[in-house]
Structure 1
Amino acid sequence: MLKKSGMVQDHGILNKMAWIQNHDKDGYKTIYKMNSTNGIGTMTVYKVFTGIELIINEFESTACLCNVPTYENVIEINHCQEGRQECKLLNGSYLYLGEGDISINTMNNCTNTMGFPLKYYKGISILLYLDEFVRDVPEILQDISIDIYGFKEKFCINDECFVMRATDKIKNIFSELYYVPESVQKVYFKLKVLELLVFLNIIDVSKKIQREYYSHQQVEIIKQIKNLITKDFKHRYTIQDLAKEYCISQTTLKTYFKGIYGTSMATYMKEYRMKQAAIMLRETPNSVADIAISVSYESQSKFAASFKEIIGISPLEYRKKCLADGKTSSKI
């Protein structure tokens, strides 16, 4: 999602996104904090090896704009932990990562905007600066036959983006990286990055799952539909009505909506209603009955049951919890 951390200011990100930058003394860790009209976000960059950076990304936003130039010999590996990631490729098509998925691409194949359809995202980016890496190969890798330049031919041939959907192996490599105690970060990050490189070196790409690309027009239609159905809770739209209005088949609508937002339209709307209700419970003194009506539930008991199903606790318990710990996060 970023170019080289030491070069970020030269790429104009601070002017575009109101980034606040913090360095540690030895330059191992750099934190960028975004505060823009799109939302807020944090990118914590670690220089794990010469030529390899690990970035922990946390966003409560619809998009992250990085005004960066393209580099052919930089490979970006993205892992989605929470939320959903939208990547727009230079050919105009879109690719989506769900929770547990990884993507691999060269930095000259993506636009400068990363989208988050669910308005929150937590993930890891690992950047491999191939030219720098081969000049100073980590000693631990010198006896292992890994062709780092071969990764580009293996995963990014013809400037394509390689995607692997969630597997237990991917989970084992990435999951603990998000919660490593600071006291052991340097050693642990090195070990896990090396594990990832070995894994990528031996993986059989012929067994990968087919990628699902979406055109700009397809994405725009589905986003228009999403905006429409979330604009007025009182109006219940059917798949049949929406497909007719937007001149697409019902099957196409259902397939594309799930591909972009990661779930069916009915499930998305149920979760969206409950998350809007949660915001009102946190930020307004409105009664539970009034909030239920606001999100188009005539029955308070049915609203409470749906809220508990999605959020995990009852509306009253949620309000008490928020008042006690002062949380106002937009991510539930």
Structure 2
Amino acid sequence: MRNEDICRIAQALKEIPDHSLELKEYPGPNRESGRLARTLSVSADGKGRVSVYQVYPGIQLSLLCFLSEQAAFRHPASPAVLEVGHCRAGRVGWNMKNGTSVYLGSGDLSCHSAVCCADSVMTYPMKYYEGISVSMDLETLADCLPGVLSDTVIDIRKLREAYCKPQKSIFISSCPETEGIFLPLYDLPEALRLPYFQLKIQELLLFLGRYVPDQKTVTKYHSEQTELIRQIHDQLTKDLSCRFTIEELSRQYLINTSSLKEVFKAVYGLPIASYMKEYRIREAMRLLRETDESISSIAARVGYETQGKFTKSFRDVAQVLPSEYRKQRRQASR
């Protein structure tokens, strides 16, 4: 729940009305346009933008930006199309059509064939998301590799064998090399986007061509489990003055404690206690900005019995005392 990420995404989407999605497609350097054979819908309480660039023949790069809880993506289930996803901010989960769910966090990479994610629902547990999706038609690339890659020994057949396995996603944890490929692509001026995309797509192909996927794949959970965890999350965050133990939640929702802790961390990126501590303090920060309530009253509203415990937790998360935070925000708004 990084406040700077939320602020950046909100600023990027400020011109888009609530409950709407802006979808733009940009042609390639020779004005060729790829077939964007997908329809998207955004949940009723959200909004988003998808900008699709035709980088090379057979290769599209999409910039995704959402303030929403989910978006439905539909596209052809082509076994020859490799989908590579990068998460910059928030968390993203796919509810696959086979009844399972997988989740990625900031910096993580997923690679799978279009068969895996056709007619899938992407969920955003943090209610915000920023990422990149690259679609590569490997049959087209087999005939013509882009740019300087035409003189390399990249074997497209091996790429397909490694990354387009039926109903299997390859998970690559955040690392300097993949971050070096994707992070420079997010905040570029419009005039520089296409040339940078072309350079970095070639770098991505070189990386995938020499990377050896290990046997670790994305952990999949039954969609019923992740839906149960979202219900638990809603209960935990509905009234922050109330606290629940893991044992109480386990009995109430008929889920064993180890599964509860494991799936909650997979969906929301943090253990329950750490997540709720940060959630309570973020809500306290909002109340300090927007109300004149006393610090002791705010502490009670977000579930702290004493102002001393609240102040310590606030400083752990915000790196500043509550009184100083309120003073800083009011001075900044003048």
TM over 0.5: yes
- Which amino acid in structure 1 is aligned with residue 153 of structure 2? S
- Which amino acid in structure 1 is aligned with residue 275 of structure 2? Y
Secondary structure of residue in 2 paired with 1:234: coil
Residue 201 of structure 2 is aligned with which of 164, 172, 193?
Answer: 193
User: Displacement of 1:313 after TM fit?
Assistant: 3.9
Q: Which residue of 2 aligns with 1:243?
A: 250
Query: Mean Cα displacement is larger for which, 158-167 or 131-140?
Result: 131-140
Matched residues in 2 for 1:122 and 1:105: separation?
A: 19
User: Displacement of 1:301 after TM fit?
Assistant: 4.1
Secondary structure of residue in 2 paired with 1:224: helix
User: Displacement of 1:146 after TM fit?
Assistant: 2.1
RMSD of aligned alpha carbons: 3.0
Q: Which residue of 2 aligns with 1:60?
A: 67
Q: What's the CA shift string for 1:130-174, capped at 9, x where partnerless?
A: 344445532422111223354232112123111112222222222
Matched residues in 2 for 1:274 and 1:109: separation?
A: 38
Residue 180 of structure 2 is aligned with which of 155, 172, 176?
Answer: 172
Matched residues in 1 for 2:330 and 2:144: separation?
A: 53
- Which amino acid in structure 1 is aligned with residue 174 of structure 2? A
Alpha-carbon contact 1:34-1:40 (below 8 Å) kept: no
Secondary structure of residue in 2 paired with 1:103: strand
Q: Between Structure 1 and Structure 2, how many residues are aligned?
A: 308
Matched residues in 2 for 1:303 and 1:289: separation?
A: 9
Matched residues in 2 for 1:315 and 1:29: separation?
A: 52
- Classify 1:274/1:109 alpha carbon distance in 2 versus 1 (closer, same or farther; 3 Å): same
Q: Map residues 268-283 of structure 1 onto 2, 5 A cutoff.
A: 268-283=275-290
Q: What's the CA shift string for 1:59-110, capped at 9, x where partnerless?
A: 2211122344433332211111221110122211111101211101222222
Matched residues in 2 for 1:174 and 1:181: separation?
A: 15
- Which amino acid in structure 2 is aligned with residue 81 of structure 1? R
Q: Which residue of 2 aligns with 1:76?
A: 83
Determine if the alignment matches structure 1 residue 289 to structure 2 residue 291: no
Alpha-carbon contact 2:56-2:198 (below 8 Å) kept: yes
Alpha-carbon contact 1:34-1:42 (below 8 Å) kept: no
Q: Which residue of 1 aligns with 2:102?
A: 95
Secondary structure of residue in 2 paired with 1:56: strand
Alpha-carbon contact 2:23-2:49 (below 8 Å) kept: no
Secondary structure of residue in 2 paired with 1:66: strand
- Which amino acid in structure 1 is aligned with residue 231 of structure 2? Q
User: Displacement of 1:235 after TM fit?
Assistant: 2.3
User: Displacement of 1:23 after TM fit?
Assistant: 6.1
Query: Mean Cα displacement is larger for which, 312-321 or 211-220?
Result: 312-321
Secondary structure of residue in 1 paired with 2:186: helix
Alpha-carbon contact 2:43-2:70 (below 8 Å) kept: no
Alpha-carbon contact 1:83-1:99 (below 8 Å) kept: yes
Alpha-carbon contact 1:29-1:47 (below 8 Å) kept: yes
Matched residues in 2 for 1:50 and 1:133: separation?
A: 8
Determine if the alignment matches structure 1 residue 140 to structure 2 residue 130: no
Query: Mean Cα displacement is larger for which, 292-301 or 154-163?
Result: 292-301
The answer for unaligned runs of 5 or more in structure 1 is 1-16, 327-332
Matched residues in 2 for 1:158 and 1:80: separation?
A: 23
Q: Which residue of 1 aligns with 2:225?
A: 218
- Classify 1:52/1:204 alpha carbon distance in 2 versus 1 (closer, same or farther; 3 Å): same
Alpha-carbon contact 2:82-2:113 (below 8 Å) kept: yes
User: Displacement of 1:265 after TM fit?
Assistant: 0.5
Q: Which residue of 2 aligns with 1:8?
A: none
Q: What's the CA shift string for 1:21-44, capped at 9, x where partnerless?
A: 4566976999x9987523222223
Q: Which residue of 2 aligns with 1:18?
A: 20
The answer for unaligned runs of 5 or more in structure 2 is 1-18
Q: Which residue of 2 aligns with 1:122?
A: 130
Matched residues in 1 for 2:41 and 2:225: separation?
A: 29
Q: Map residues 305-316 of structure 1 onto 2, 5 A cutoff.
A: 305-316=312-323
Give the TM-score of the pair, scaled to structure 1.
Answer: 0.81
Alpha-carbon contact 2:84-2:110 (below 8 Å) kept: yes
User: Displacement of 1:266 after TM fit?
Assistant: 0.4
- Which amino acid in structure 2 is aligned with residue 138 of structure 1? P
Using the aligned pairs only, state the percent identity: 35
Query: Mean Cα displacement is larger for which, 317-326 or 207-216?
Result: 317-326
- Classify 1:148/1:321 alpha carbon distance in 2 versus 1 (closer, same or farther; 3 Å): farther
Matched residues in 1 for 2:209 and 2:82: separation?
A: 14
- Which amino acid in structure 1 is aligned with residue 71 of structure 2? C
- Which amino acid in structure 2 is aligned with residue 20 of structure 1? E
